[in-house]
Amino acid sequence: MRAEHRLAAIRRALADEGVPAMLVTAVSNMRYLTGFDGVFDDGINAACLVTSEHARFYTDARYSEAAQAAAGGTPWTVRQTSGSMYIDICRELQAEGVTEIAIESSVPYGRFKFISEQFVGSVRVTDGLIEKIRQVKEAAEIERIQEAARLTDAAFEHVLGFIRPGLTELEVALELEIWMRANGSEGVAFAPIVASGPNSSRPHATVTGRTIERGDFVKMDFGACVGGYRADMTRTVVVGVPSERQREVYAAVLEANEAGLAAVRGGAAARDVDAAARNVLAARGLGDAFTHGVGHGVGLDIHELPTLNAQSRDVLRTGSVVTVEPGVYLEGTFGVRIEDLVVVEEAGCRVLTRSPKELIQLD
Ligand SMILES: [Mn+2]
């Protein structure tokens, strides 16, 4: 069912572009189009070909048994290739009289060059065709994201009882990962960020061997992954008693997070959500310390459409799943970010992240 629905959507998009065929090789896009579970890994050698009549999935012997099983009852035909997949595809297209194909703008240049040389006809680069379809989630996709968010919340609750002065950031990050994987997460949505003390002023800090000390903020950005779908959450906690400045900044970021959440609804301009959060921080003299956009779409990829920042021209659509994650980063001192994952609804949003947001003090 989902495969039919998604194929119909991409075929409409191709008809709008006036191109008769599309070759898809980005893993998340292939996973979405086929709906195959249990086939894809990061190293997969595969391609999807969609024309008005055909939907073919090409892969090699390492993946073909799993692909054949997953394709049962779907419109997809699996072709096992042994030599160059792209030569096989170009030959088949030529035999079918197809003289123009679309490829994704993410295709590496070497592959683009090879396909252009092999294909008899013109190769057109398209941008975001499938990504735009993916930004509105089906109910079953939202269920998977919700389950990933639930596991993420549970991991946070667990790690609150684990963090103590004397542990390193690496030990906390590993504990988050072990807990999520032991409790049903497929790997992790992305490598967890655990940034303590002055390291927390780096929005995407790398995890270090720094030892957590009393008085530190500990900023944790992490997520579980369920059925290919990801969750994304950030919480910042304090070890010991916070300073007055830590309290003030934390309160400002929390207010910005809530203002951002209040601005989310179907039809809202993404940049207005960014502005709602940014204005709160600017009014407290912290505008320059909020150095990234307020959020992004989440799904099969951790960062996908729509983009929520000051320059974005995206409009939020009902059924998108997005983050709202303002932060304040004071170089060499500390940083705070509070990130929730939400489903965009017609009149507002449904917050999937349930973890508490008041400043948590750990002893
Ligand atoms: Mn995020």
Cα–ligand 1 centroid distance for 297 (angstroms): 8
Look at residue 81 in the predicted model and tell me its pLDDT: 93
Look at residue 301 in the predicted model and tell me its pLDDT: 98
Over residues 203-246, the pLDDT tens digits come to 999 999 999 999 999 999 999 999 999 999 999 999 999 999 99
Cα–ligand 1 centroid distance for 266 (angstroms): 20
Look at residue 314 in the predicted model and tell me its pLDDT: 98
Cα–ligand 1 centroid distance for 304 (angstroms): 10
Cα–ligand 1 centroid distance for 323 (angstroms): 6
The protein residues having their C-beta less than 5 angstroms from ligand 1 (an ion) are 232, 323
Look at residue 1 in the predicted model and tell me its pLDDT: 64
Model confidence at 42: pLDDT above 90: no
C-alpha to C-alpha distances, 331 to 201, 202, 211, nearest whole angstrom:
5, 8, 19
* Domain residue extents for the chain: 2-134, 139-362
Cα–ligand 1 centroid distance for 330 (angstroms): 19
Cα–ligand 1 centroid distance for 191 (angstroms): 12
Over residues 314-349, the pLDDT tens digits come to 999 999 999 999 999 999 999 999 999 999 999 999
* Domain 139-362 CATH assignment equals 3.90.230.10: yes
> What's the token pair of residue 84?
């160059």
Look at residue 2 in the predicted model and tell me its pLDDT: 86
> What's the token pair of residue 292?
């990234």
Multiple choice CATH, 2-134, 3.40.350.10, 3.30.1370.100, 3.50.50.60, 3.30.310.50 = 3.40.350.10
2-134 and 139-362 in the same fold:
no
Cα–ligand 1 centroid distance for 78 (angstroms): 35
Cα–ligand 1 centroid distance for 325 (angstroms): 7
